[in-house]
Chain A
Amino acid sequence: MNPIINAYQLIVGSREFMLVDISRSTGTIGTVNVSEFAQYPRGVTPITELLYAGEEAIINMTRPARGDEYTDKLVHQISTITICGDNVKTILSATSDNYFTYSHSMAKSLNPVFELLSDGVYVCHEAKMIPGNGAGNFFWNGYTQRHIVSGTANYSRNMGKESNYTPCFLLPTMNPSEFSEAKVKTQRDKLSAGKRIGGVALHMSGMFSALLDGHHSAVACLLSDFEFRCLLIEPIRDMLYETPEQAMQYGREPRIIALSCPYVKIPMELIPPPMLESFLLRRNNIKPKHYQQLKKNANKILRTVGRKSLPREVLLKAEHLPNHAAIESAHAVTELTDEQLNALLAGETKYEDKIIISSNYYNSVITACNYLQFEDFERFLRFTFTIIENPDLKATHKYIIERLCTINNKKIYDFFTALSEEEKLVHADHISQIEAYIKGYEKNINDVLIDKENKSKSLNRAMGFLGGDLDQAGIAQMEAIVKASRRG
Chain B
Amino acid sequence: MAFESLQGIKAYSHGSEQTFVVGDFFAVYSKNEEIPTIYNWAEVKSIIENRTDFIINVGGASYDIPKSCIPDERKLLNLRGVLEGAVSTNPSIEYHHQKRILPPKYLYMNGDVSGAPYIVSGVYKEREINFSNVILINTRIGKFLKIFAVLVIITAFLLLHFYYGNTDENWFYFLPVSIFAGGIATMIIYLICAVIANFHYSSLDKIDPALSKEITFTISEEGFSAVESHLYTGGEFIPWNEANYFIETNSVFIVYKNNKAVFWLPKRLFKKEAQKEISKFIHERLVQK
Contact = CB atoms under 8 A, between A and B. Distances in A.
A430 to B, nearest CB: 49
Interface in B1-16: 1-2, 4-10
A287 B233 contact: yes
Given A42-B91, A282-B8, A284-B4, A277 B109 contact: no
A286 interface: yes
A292 B233 CA distance: 12
A38 interface: yes
Nearest to A255: B37
A194 interface: no
Contacts of A42: 91, 109
A276 B109 contact: no
Interface in B222-251: 222-223, 233, 235, 237, 239
Contacts, number: 80
Interface residues of A, number: 29
B60 interface: yes
A38 B110 contact: yes
Given A39-B111, A253-B59, A255-B37, A285 B10 contact: no
Contacts of B7: 281, 283
Contacts of A280: 8, 21, 23-25, 27, 36, 38
B40 A38 contact: no
Interface string A21-52: 00000000000000111110011010000000
B24 A283 contact: yes
Contacts of B35: 268-269, 276
Given A286-B5, A287-B5, A38 B10 contact: no
A268 B27 CA distance: 12
Interface string B30-72: 0000111111100100000000000000011000000000000
B21 A38 contact: no
Interface residues of B, number: 35
A304 to B, nearest CB: 28
Nearest to A291: B235
Contacts of A450: none
A128 interface: no
A239 interface: yes
Given A283-B5, A283-B8, A36 B23 contact: no
A16 B99 CA distance: 53
Given A37-B109, A38-B111, A42-B91, A281 B34 contact: no
Nearest to A238: B40
A277 B10 contact: yes
Contact of B23 (A39, A43, A273, A283): A283
B25 A37 contact: no
Contacts of A282: 8, 23-24
Q: By CB atoms of chain A within 10 A, which of B2, B6, B23, B112 has the most? A: B112
Contacts of B27: 280
A35 B23 CA distance: 20
A146 B112 CA distance: 23
A395 interface: no
A291 to B, nearest CB: 8
A89 interface: no
Contacts of A256: 25, 38-40
A193 B159 CA distance: 117
Interface in A233-285: 239, 252-253, 255-256, 268-269, 273, 276-277, 280-285
Given A256-B40, A280-B38, A285-B5, 13 more contacts: A35-B1, A36-B112, A37-B111, A38-B112, A42-B109, A239-B25, A255-B37, A255-B38, A256-B39, A282-B8, A285-B1, A287-B233, A295-B112
Q: Which 6 residue pairs spanning A and B have beta carbons closest together? A: A38-B111, A281-B8, A285-B4, A256-B38, A280-B21, A37-B110
7 contacts: A38-B112, A38-B223, A268-B38, A280-B25, A283-B6, A285-B1, A287-B235
